[in-house]
Structure 1
Amino acid sequence: MTSPTPFDVAAKRLRDDAVARLLPAESVPLDQALGRVLAAAVVAPISVPGFANTAMDGYALRTQGRGARVGQSFRCIDLALAGAAGQAIDDAAVCVEIATGAVLPDHADAVVQYELTTRTGDCVTLQADVVSGSNVRGAEDDYARGQLALPAGRIIDAGAIGVLAGFGVGDVLVRRRPRIAVVVTGSELQPAGAALARGQIHDSNSSTLRALLGSVAESLQMIGPLADDRDLLADTLRDTARTHDVLVTTGGASAGRADFIPGLVGELGEISLWKVAMRPGMPFLYGRIGTCAVYGLPGNPVSVFASMLSLVLPALHAMQGRNPVGTQYASLAIAARKSHGRLEWRRGVLASLPDGRRVIRPHPAQGSGMLRGVAESNALFRLDAEVRALGAGQIVEVLPFSV
C-alpha cells in the first residue's frame, strides 16, 4: 500500500495541474464582472483625472506658488461648476468661485474652502493662510495614461469596478468559471425534510458544497444523495464528466466494501493521487475523467469542509488564473496538542486584538463529524505533522473561512 502524499506536495500538485489547464478567457459586460478574475492586465486607456480639478467647494486663487495670507482680498469674477471650465485667472487679485470636481481655471494653483473666507458682494476675504496647491487634484493624480491599473489574476471587486468604469470600460476580459458537478454518495443519507429510519442521517454535504461553490462556478449541478451502488455511480460519473470541467464527490473515497469512487475513477480515467497525510480528510482523491478534474472527498462533513478550504478551492482559484492569496498567521490563544503524526487542520475563532495582533482560539469540538465546530468557528489553523504540542502565543498558519 502506498503511503499518503504529504499535504504540501498534494496541494502543490493540485495547483500546478490547475494552472496547466487554465480556463479560457471571455469578455463580459462590466456590470456582470463582479467577483470574476481578470484574464489580462488592465492598462489605463486615459489619464484620470484628465484635467486638474478641485477637491473642495470654495474659491480658486492664483498665488503663483507663493500662497496667500490671512486678510488678503480677491474679486470674484466667475462661477465654475462641475462639468464646465471657468474663466482663466489672469490677475492675482481675482478669484473664481468653484464647485468640487470642477476644472481648475487656467493659472489657478490653490483653492480655499468657503469656511475659511468671508464674502461681501464680489469681495472675498481670507480668514486663514492658504498654501499653494491646497485642495487641488492634479491631472493624472490617480492614473496616468499607459500606467498599469489592475494586474491579471486580480479578483474584480467593487473598487476594481469603479476604476474600470472611470476608464470608460464597457466590457472586461475575465477567465471563464468552471462548470462544476457535485455527486454526494452514501446509502445512509436522506435529503432535508425526509423522515429518518434508524441508521439514516440527513445529507449536510450537499448544502455545504452548494454554499462553498456557488460563487466559484459558472454552473453548479447537484446530484444525490446517491446510494452506494457501483453501477449507478459508474454511470453517473461517466455521464457527468462529459459535460463538466470539475466533478466533486463526497463519500466512498476510502478502502471499504462500499467505497467505489477510487476504483471507478481509475477505470474511467486516471488517479493522480489518493490519500493525503492530513486530518481530517486523509482519503482525499484527485484524478481526471477525460478533461474533467475529479476531487473525491471523504463523507464526514468536517472532512469535506477542511478538504474544500485547504485543497479544492485553491485549485479552483488557480484554474481561473487567480493570484494566490498570501499565507496568513495568528498566535494561539491557548495551547494545542495532538497525538498523531499527520498534519491537522483544526477549527477555531480568529480575532484581531486592539494592538493589531491576530489570535485564534481552538474550538473544543474537533471531531470529523462534528459540524458544530465549523458553525461556531471562522477559520482553520494548521498543526504540522511533526508537531505534538504548541503553547499559547505560538504562531500558526490560519485559513479564514471567507477568502
Structure 2
Amino acid sequence: MSQSAQASQSCCDNHAGGLPVEEARARIKAGIQPVTTRERVALRDALNRVLAEDVHSPVPVPAHDNSAMDGYAVRGQDVAGDGATDLEVVGRTLAGETFDGELGSGECIRIMTGAPMPAGGDTVIMQEQADRVGDRIRVHGPHPSGNHVRRAGEDLAEGERILAAGQRIGPAELGVMASAGLVEISVFRRLRVAFFSTGDELQGVGQPLGPGQIYDSNRYTLFAAMQRLGVEAVDMGVVGDDKESLERAFREASAFADVLVTSGGVSVGEADYVKDTLDALGEVDFWKVALRPGRPLAYGRLGRALFFGLPGNPVSVMATWYQITRPALLHMMGAQPEPDQYFPVRCAEPLRKRPGRMEFQRGILSWNESGQPEVRTTGAQGSGILSSVSRANCFIVLPYNAGSVEAGETVMVQPFHGLM
C-alpha cells in the first residue's frame, strides 16, 4: 500500500463514518493555492469572474446634483416658510440637458427626474405638490431645502473603492462598475475543470436504453453547476469501468486541467477503480465524508490537478458538489469566502436521522397560515431521487451530532437561491 493510501486509511480509521464535513472542508482549503494569473476583460465578459484587484471609481456618481423627482427646481429659501408661495416658471430641463441661466428670487424651472439642478436651485417640489396656471405655480410650504435632490457623489465619491479584490461579479457588480464608466477590469483567469462519469451502465441522452442501462444525468448536473460557477468546464464524456480507460482519462485530464471531477466508482465494494487509480497515479487525502447523501467521496491530487471523486447517485452528486466541491473551487478561484446562508425555521413534520453524520435533506420552505416560515421535506429522501432536488427550494441542514427531529422543532435551512 502506498503512503497516500496508508494516510487515507489512517484518516478513515480515525473517522469510521467518514470525516466530518467541516473538517473535510478545512483540509481541502488548507491544501489549495488560489490562482494568481490575471487578465483584463471587457465589462460584459466579466459575469461570474473574480476580481483580481480593488476597483475604484474614476468619477463621482452621480456626476452632478440632479433631481430625484419630476417637478420644479426652486431656491430652498423661497419655499421655507408656511403658507402659499407663487413662483414664476422660467425654463425647463430634461435628463441629459442643462439650464443655462441661474434661478433668481421667486423663480423656478420645470425639471424631470435625472436632470441636472440649475445654478441657484437646491430643492425640488414634486409636481403633485404644485398648482400651475400658465407660467406660474403656487406651492404650500414649508419644503425643506435640498428635498428630492440627488447630490453629486452621493452614490460613489471620485476615487472611492467600489469593489474589493476577490469579489465575484454578478449583475449588481456589473451595474455599479458601469455606472462609474469602467470599460475593462482585471480578473483572475478561469479555472479549467474537467469532468466525466464512470459506469458501463450509463447511456447518453437521446439513445435507446439497453438492458440494465440508465441515462447519464450527472454530467448534465455538473456541467450546469460549473457554468453557473463561472469555470471553464471540459466534458470528457463517459469512461468505462476498467482500469485502463480510467488511467488514460486521468492522465489526459491531469495534463491540462486545474481540477478533475468524476462521478461514480468511489463506493467501497464493486469495481472500485477510481480510488485505486487515483492512488496509483496521484495522492488520496480522504475518501469518506460523514455526509448524507454523499458519504463516499474521494479527494486528492492528480499531478498538479485537484481531484474530487463524487458518488454515482444523482442526489449525492449534487450534495457533495454544493457542500464540498463548490466551496473549494471558489477558494481556488481567488474568491472571498462565502458564509453559509443558514437560518432557523420551524419543521412542519418529523425527520429521521441518526447522530454521526451531517445530513442535507431536500426541503420545501413556505409560509404557513399564520404567516410564519416553516419547512417540510419533499418526501422520500433516497439518493437516487433526483426529482426531489427540482421540487425542493432548500436543504434542511441537520448537524453531525443531532438525532431525529420532532414536528414543531426548529431546524436550520439553506436556501437554494444564491447557491444553485
Shared fold (TM-score, shorter chain, > 0.5):
yes
SS at match of 2:84: coil
Query: Offset at 1:360?
Result: 2.1
Counterpart residue number, 1:276: 289
Query: Offset at 1:361?
Result: 0.9
What CA distance in whole angstroms lies between the structure 1 residues aligned with 2:35 and 2:327?
Answer: 13
SS at match of 1:155: coil
Q: 1:343 pairs with 350, 354, 358, which one?
A: 358
Does structure 1 residue 381 correspond to structure 2 residue 396? yes
What CA distance in whole angstroms lies between the structure 2 residues aligned with 1:61 and 1:177?
Answer: 53
Does structure 1 residue 398 correspond to structure 2 residue 410? no
Cα deviations by residue, 1:146-166 (Å, 9 ceiling, x for unpaired): 222223332322222221111
Does structure 1 residue 8 correspond to structure 2 residue 22? yes
What CA distance in whole angstroms lies between the structure 2 residues aligned with 1:150 and 1:395?
Answer: 37
Choose 62-71 or 252-261, whichever is displaced more: 62-71
Q: CA 1:141–1:365 in 2, change beyond 3 Å: closer, same or farther?
A: same
Paired residue type of 1:365:
A
What CA distance in whole angstroms lies between the structure 1 residues aligned with 2:410 and 2:56?
Answer: 39
Query: Offset at 1:250?
Result: 0.9
Choose 73-82 or 164-173, whichever is displaced more: 73-82
Paired residue type of 1:8:
E
Query: Offset at 1:349?
Result: 1.2
Counterpart residue number, 1:28: 41
Query: Offset at 1:237?
Result: 0.7
Query: Offset at 1:310?
Result: 0.8
Q: CA 1:359–1:323 in 2, change beyond 3 Å: closer, same or farther?
A: farther
Query: Offset at 1:242?
Result: 0.9
What CA distance in whole angstroms lies between the structure 2 residues aligned with 1:263 and 1:343?
Answer: 26
Choose 108-117 or 310-319, whichever is displaced more: 108-117
Choose 295-304 or 20-29, whichever is displaced more: 20-29
What CA distance in whole angstroms lies between the structure 2 residues aligned with 1:65 and 1:47?
Answer: 29
Cα deviations by residue, 1:102-143 (Å, 9 ceiling, x for unpaired): 221222221112332233333222256432222111122111
Counterpart residue number, 2:385: 370
Counterpart residue number, 2:169: 156
Q: List gaps (5 residues or longer) in structure 1.
A: none
TM-score normalized by the length of structure 2: 0.88
SS at match of 1:64: helix
Q: CA 1:23–1:337 in 2, change beyond 3 Å: closer, same or farther?
A: farther
Q: CA 1:34–1:382 in 2, change beyond 3 Å: closer, same or farther?
A: same
Q: List gaps (5 residues or longer) in structure 2.
A: 1-8
Q: CA 1:32–1:385 in 2, change beyond 3 Å: closer, same or farther?
A: same
Q: CA 1:396–1:177 in 2, change beyond 3 Å: closer, same or farther?
A: farther
Counterpart residue number, 2:4: none
Identity %: 37
Paired residue type of 1:136:
V
Does structure 1 residue 204 correspond to structure 2 residue 224? no
Query: Offset at 1:69?
Result: 4.3
What CA distance in whole angstroms lies between the structure 1 residues aligned with 2:148 and 2:155?
Answer: 15
Q: CA 1:60–1:170 in 2, change beyond 3 Å: closer, same or farther?
A: same
Judge conservation of contact 2:314–2:386 (CA < 8 Å) in 1: yes
What CA distance in whole angstroms lies between the structure 2 residues aligned with 1:88 and 1:395?
Answer: 65
Does structure 1 residue 82 correspond to structure 2 residue 95? yes
Q: 1:125 pairs with 134, 138, 156, which one?
A: 138
Counterpart residue number, 1:289: 302
Counterpart residue number, 2:184: 171
Choose 120-129 or 352-361, whichever is displaced more: 352-361
Judge conservation of contact 1:29–1:171 (CA < 8 Å) in 2: yes
Paired residue type of 2:376:
R
Counterpart residue number, 1:330: 344
Query: Offset at 1:239?
Result: 0.8
What CA distance in whole angstroms lies between the structure 2 residues aligned with 1:69 and 1:386?
Answer: 67
* 1:96-115 correspondence runs (5 A): 96-115=109-128
Q: CA 1:150–1:350 in 2, change beyond 3 Å: closer, same or farther?
A: same
SS at match of 1:181: strand
Query: Offset at 1:215?
Result: 2.3
What CA distance in whole angstroms lies between the structure 2 residues aligned with 1:81 and 1:196?
Answer: 65
Paired residue type of 2:364:
V
What CA distance in whole angstroms lies between the structure 1 residues aligned with 2:52 and 2:374?
Answer: 36
Choose 184-193 or 337-346, whichever is displaced more: 337-346
Judge conservation of contact 1:177–1:216 (CA < 8 Å) in 2: no
Judge conservation of contact 1:64–1:109 (CA < 8 Å) in 2: no
SS at match of 1:144: coil
Q: CA 1:61–1:217 in 2, change beyond 3 Å: closer, same or farther?
A: closer
Choose 21-30 or 302-311, whichever is displaced more: 21-30
Judge conservation of contact 1:68–1:131 (CA < 8 Å) in 2: no
Counterpart residue number, 1:17: 31
What CA distance in whole angstroms lies between the structure 1 residues aligned with 2:408 and 2:55?
Answer: 42
Choose 281-290 or 208-217, whichever is displaced more: 208-217
What CA distance in whole angstroms lies between the structure 2 residues aligned with 1:182 and 1:355?
Answer: 46
What CA distance in whole angstroms lies between the structure 2 residues aligned with 1:399 and 1:14?
Answer: 22
Judge conservation of contact 1:68–1:129 (CA < 8 Å) in 2: yes
* 1:310-325 correspondence runs (5 A): 310-325=323-338
Matched residue count: 402
Query: Offset at 1:263?
Result: 1.7
What CA distance in whole angstroms lies between the structure 1 residues aligned with 2:36 and 2:410?
Answer: 36
SS at match of 1:389: coil
Cα deviations by residue, 1:329-364 (Å, 9 ceiling, x for unpaired): 232222212245322221111235688754321222
What CA distance in whole angstroms lies between the structure 2 residues aligned with 1:142 and 1:353?
Answer: 39
